Amino acid sequence: MSSATIPVIAIDGPSASGKGTVAALVARALGFHYLDSGAIYRVTAHAGQRAGVSLDDESALATLARGLDLRFDGVEVFLNGEAVGDAIRTEEAGRAASKIAAMPVLRAALLERQRAFRRAPGLVTDGRDMGSVVFPDATLKIFLTASCEERAKRRYKQLIEKGFDANLAALFEDLSERDARDAARAVAPLKQSADAVLLDTTGLSIDEAVQQVLRDYRAASAV
């Protein structure tokens, strides 16, 4: 199978929209691979901080990104063989990722690495530009979102469940700020592309959202 014929479901959307959970469950239902592209930006920022690279140094970060020893195993992420899942999923790591994600040279450095995840029998991936830039020929493109209030509540619940401290008002502010930065950047901004299907999950359960994506995928692959 040539890589271009391998199906891709690209799920883009804002932070804490639940796109990662939905994407991973869709991948499981179809027996497809799953790529959390945000984790790559998070790991890159994390690796930079560890190596003492300034988060303003675009060329040093791009060099580091090209050589990153990164491996996914289920939902766990390994950097140089060490599990870093918890460290990269803090709010601080999210802010650092959003900051470096605005850098065009860094984004270009990560492009091929992301495309390499397109392997048979198929890939489900989530991020901000999966449908617009990384996999423009995706079989199905979804823009998955929810109101900012709903997303702040979901993130709050997630953090509390993991035993972290959390403040709902601060999370709301943080998400609004991050959305604004991700949407305003010059390269690959967060926005629904014309050929993406809008899925607003504000009133939906995770399972309802998963079933909707599966229906859309069946419809898209039948044509």
Chain contacts with ligand DC (rule: CB under 6 A): 15, 37-38, 41-42, 94, 97-98, 101, 127-130, 178, 182
Q: Closer to ligand DC at the Cβ: 50 or 215?
A: 50
Task: Please state the closest distance from residue 17 (CB atom) to ligand DC, in A.
Answer: 9
Task: Please state the closest distance from residue 70 (CB atom) to ligand DC, in A.
Answer: 14
Task: Please state the closest distance from residue 129 (CB atom) to ligand DC, in A.
Answer: 5
Task: Please state the closest distance from residue 7 (CB atom) to ligand DC, in A.
Answer: 19
Q: Closer to ligand DC at the Cβ: 41 or 156?
A: 41
User: What is the DSSP track for 151-182?
Assistant: HHHHHHHHHHHTT----HHHHHHHHHHHHHHH
Q: Closer to ligand DC at the Cβ: 60 or 181?
A: 181
Question: Residues in the chain, how many?
Answer: 223
Which two tokens mark 156? 């709050």
Report the sign of the C-alpha dihedral through residues 126, 129, 134, 137, in that order. Answer: positive
Q: Closer to ligand DC at the Cβ: 182 or 216?
A: 182
106: closest CA among 44, 39, 54? 44
The CA-atom distances, in angstroms, between 65 and each of 44, 69, 76, 115 are: 6, 9, 19, 15
